[in-house]
Structure 1
Amino acid sequence: MNWSALLSLKRYGDTNKRLRKEQDDTRLGFDVDYDRIIFSAAFRSLQDKTQVIPLSKTDFVHTRLTHSLEVSVVGRSLGRIAGKRILEKHPHLHDTLGYRFNDFGAIVAAAALAHDIGNPPFGHSGEKAIGEYFENGKGKKYRSVLSEIEYQDLIDFEGNANGFRLLTESREGVEGGLRLSYATLGAFMKYPKESLPKRPTSHIADKKFGFFQSGQKAFKEVAEVLGLLSRTNSAEFSYARHPLTYLVEAADDICYTIIDFEDGINLGLISEDYALEYLIKLVQNTINTKKYNSLAYQEDRLSYLRALAINTLIIDVVSIFDTNEDKILNGTFTTSLLDQSRYQAQVKDIIALSVDKIYRSPEVIEKEIAGYRIISDILEVYTNALIRKKGHKASNYDMLMLQTLPELYRDTETTIYTILLNACCYVASLSDRAAVHIHNKIMGKSL
């Protein structure tokens, strides 16, 4: 892969090339990507979607929105630092084409801002709940009318694939979704493959999948314009990652490792004593002990340690990226950047403690259980109503329920796969509280 193609400013529907040297530096195309994402309805809904503690009543705990903003900030730093080194190695990118180190930061920041945009309510359990409905719940009845790969899209419903759909899917009057630059879309695609075959290798790009069958055409166009390397000789769609995807992933990994840990301490789920003990190897070369000891409040001490820890990991990650740039461009770098970190052991220890004390805390487990039931019930009502309408067998109740669906999701003059996928994507679009509200209406609790 080559950087000149990977940094493409092309958008869906462009007939002429968008050249970097002709861009207005006061409003660069990659900056426009960021703006389009942050003003989108899908991004706004993240303000009431779970990051760690579902439906938490504490106001300082992170939502998907605050998490996404923080990931974009870390991603911007990673992109800028890495971009400076890339331009030193490949001076023609600046001298001939006009790219600057800030461009790399803008691409990574925009892709990082969107990285959770397709995630359902109730955290990662939301994805699992949608899949469970079709694999082991009442949605199993649709198995016989779907192809193998269509069914796989549903039973392994993936927030990343839904995010790509939101960013790229055309609808009447809106061609190409948000019409982001292909560089940003490429950096967004953590898993550039379809849902089958499932985990064919241990390569990090094969861990999950990145687009539904409905988005295959858009995905292929982005991959080909960017010059992503095909990773298969068969008819399957599987490509090497865009190099900047590794930085987007690292920004996410850094934030959830350090900031979820911080949330757990603020919530009282983890003792503050663990903060310095677990972070000391990350901050020992930069901590000002006098300053740390002068901080009277826990919140300030945690903020100080968090900032130092994130900075340490940013520097380490960029070094790993720089060292392995050739492998990354050749598609042969098979792990995440943090998996190669000199602080890998410390990161794993922090995550293990967070899993034990936060992710498996009674509050989280209770809300995830409720989320499973809520999502399953909503899917059952809407999929039944939509499929019955397609077969001209809809009841009065079905028609009433369909009136509560946004018009975008009501179309039944299409395939069963598209109808079911649309129902899943509608549920995924809901905030935590909106899902609870709809479930209450279905159960007759709002009367």
Structure 2
Amino acid sequence: MNWEQLLSLKRFGDTNKRLRKEQDETRLGFEVDYDRVIFSSEFRSLQDKTQVIPLSKTDFVHTRLTHSLEVSVVGRSLGRKAGQRLIEKHPYLQNIHGYQANDFGAIVAAAALAHDIGNPPFGHSGEKSIGEFFKTGKGVKFKDKLTQKEYQDLCDFEGNANGFKILTESRPGREGGLRLSYATLGAFIKYPKESLPKKPTTHIADKKYGFFQSEKSVFLDVVKELGLVKRGNDNDISFSRHPLTYLVEAADDICYTIIDFEDGINLGLIQEEYALEYLINLVRGSINTSKYHELTTTQDRVSYLRALAINTLINEAVELFIENEEAILDGTFSKALLDLSKYKAQIKDIIQISISNVYQSEEVIDKEISGYEVLNQLLSVYTDAVDNKLNNSLSSFNSLVLKSLPKTVNLNDDNLYSCLMAVCNYISKLSDSNAILTYRKLKGNHL
């Protein structure tokens, strides 16, 4: 892979090549990507979507929106620092093509901002509940009516693939979705493969999948433009990651490791004295002891250590990226950057505490159970209506349900997979509160 191709400014529908040196510096194409994501309705719904603590009304607990904003800030720093080093290493990028260090930061920031845009309500349990509906629930009846890969898309409903759908899906008046640059779309695609085969290798890019069958042609167009390296066999679609994806992933890893831990401390789920020692172990070389001891509240102490920890991990991730640039460009780098961190033991300790004290806390489990019930009911009602519509056996209730859907939900296609995917995509875009409101409406509880 080569950087000039990887930094493509092309957007959906372009007929002429966009050159970096011809860009308006006051409104750079990669920065436009960030704007388009942040002003989208799908991004705004993240303000009422679970990050860790479902349906939490506590003001210092993160939602998907605050998490995404923080990941984008960390991603921008990672991209700029890495971009500066890359331009020093490959001066032709600037001298001939006009690329700047901040371009890398803008691409990573935009992709990082969008990284959770496809996640359903109720956190990761939302993804699981959609998958379970088709794998073991009422949705099993569709198995024999779909191809293997179509059915697998539903059984392993994936927020990353759904995010790619949201960013690229055409509809009247919005051809090409948000029309982001292909560089940003490439950096966004964390797992550039289809749903089958599942985890064919231990390569990090094979851990999950990154596009639904409904977006296959769009995906292939993007990877061709970017020159991503083909992987796997001829029968299956699989490519190496865009190099900047590793920085997007590092930004997310840094934020959820440190900030979920911070939420756990502030909520009292993790004991302060016990927890702060783990953060101190991560930043012992950079902590200002006298300044630290002047801080009088838990939140201030945690904030100080969090800032140091994030800065420490940003600098290390950039070093790891530059050290492994050659392997990343030829597609042989097979781990997440932080898997090679010298702080790996400390990171692992922090994550383990978050798992036992936060992710598996009673509050989280109770509300994830509620989320399963809500999404299962929505899927049951809407997929029944779709199935009956395609079989010309609509009931009066089915008709009312379909009329209640927004006009943006396209059910005019006679293809079962397209209609089921449209329903799942609609449900995935609901905020936690709107999912509950819709559930109550369908149960007759809003009267």
Structure 2: where are the runs of 5+ without partners? none
Report matched runs for 1:333-412 at 5 Å.
Answer: 333-412=333-412
1:142 maps to amino acid: F
Shift of 1:258: 0.1
2:399 maps to amino acid: M
What corresponds to 2:54 in structure 1?
Answer: 54
Paired with 2:20 and 2:31, the residues of 1 have a C-alpha distance of: 13
Paired with 1:180 and 1:170, the residues of 2 have a C-alpha distance of: 12
- Note the alpha carbon deviations across 1:256-291, whole angstroms, 9 max, x for none: 000000000000000111232101232111111111
Report matched runs for 1:37-436 at 5 Å.
Answer: 37-436=37-436
Paired with 1:326 and 1:414, the residues of 2 have a C-alpha distance of: 47
Paired with 1:252 and 1:413, the residues of 2 have a C-alpha distance of: 36
Paired with 1:366 and 1:437, the residues of 2 have a C-alpha distance of: 18
Shift of 1:410: 4.7
Paired with 1:119 and 1:311, the residues of 2 have a C-alpha distance of: 27
Shift of 1:401: 1.0
- Note the alpha carbon deviations across 1:18-45, whole angstroms, 9 max, x for none: 1001111111000000000000010000
Paired with 2:421 and 2:30, the residues of 1 have a C-alpha distance of: 30
1:74 maps to amino acid: V
Paired with 1:26 and 1:57, the residues of 2 have a C-alpha distance of: 39
Corresponding residue SS for 1:177: coil
Paired with 1:395 and 1:120, the residues of 2 have a C-alpha distance of: 28
Shift of 1:202: 0.4
Moved more, 51-60 or 184-193: 51-60
2:434 maps to amino acid: A
The answer to whether the 8 A contact 1:390-1:412 is kept is: no
1:3 maps to amino acid: W
1:237 maps to amino acid: I
- Note the alpha carbon deviations across 1:388-413, whole angstroms, 9 max, x for none: 11222111111111121112225143
- Note the alpha carbon deviations across 1:79-110, whole angstroms, 9 max, x for none: 00000111111110000000000000000000
- Note the alpha carbon deviations across 1:198-254, whole angstroms, 9 max, x for none: 000000000000000000000000000000000023121100000000000000000
Paired with 1:94 and 1:142, the residues of 2 have a C-alpha distance of: 53
- Note the alpha carbon deviations across 1:354-403, whole angstroms, 9 max, x for none: 00000000000000011111101100001111121122211111111112
1:273 maps to amino acid: E
1:196 maps to amino acid: L
* TM-score for both structures, normalised by structure 1: 0.99
The answer to whether the 8 A contact 1:389-1:412 is kept is: no
1:190 maps to amino acid: K
Corresponding pairs, count: 447
Paired with 1:319 and 1:274, the residues of 2 have a C-alpha distance of: 30
2:193 maps to amino acid: K
1:305 maps to amino acid: L
The answer to whether the 8 A contact 1:108-1:248 is kept is: yes
1:246 maps to amino acid: Y
Paired with 1:218 and 1:377, the residues of 2 have a C-alpha distance of: 32
1:81 maps to amino acid: K
2:286 maps to amino acid: T
1:248 maps to amino acid: V
Corresponding residue SS for 1:408: coil
Corresponding residue SS for 2:417: helix
Paired-residue identity, %: 66
Shift of 1:174: 1.6
Paired with 1:59 and 1:445, the residues of 2 have a C-alpha distance of: 29
What corresponds to 2:15 in structure 1?
Answer: 15
- Note the alpha carbon deviations across 1:96-135, whole angstroms, 9 max, x for none: 0000000000000000000000000000000000000000
Corresponding residue SS for 2:355: helix
- Note the alpha carbon deviations across 1:140-188, whole angstroms, 9 max, x for none: 1111101111000000000000000010111122211100000000000
Paired with 1:190 and 1:148, the residues of 2 have a C-alpha distance of: 22
2:372 maps to amino acid: Y
Paired with 1:32 and 1:285, the residues of 2 have a C-alpha distance of: 39
1:17 maps to amino acid: K
The answer to whether the 8 A contact 1:390-1:413 is kept is: no
Corresponding residue SS for 1:243: coil
Paired with 1:201 and 1:349, the residues of 2 have a C-alpha distance of: 27
Corresponding residue SS for 2:115: coil
Corresponding residue SS for 1:228: coil
Paired with 2:407 and 2:199, the residues of 1 have a C-alpha distance of: 36
Paired with 2:212 and 2:371, the residues of 1 have a C-alpha distance of: 23
Corresponding residue SS for 2:54: coil
2:81 maps to amino acid: I
2:11 maps to amino acid: R
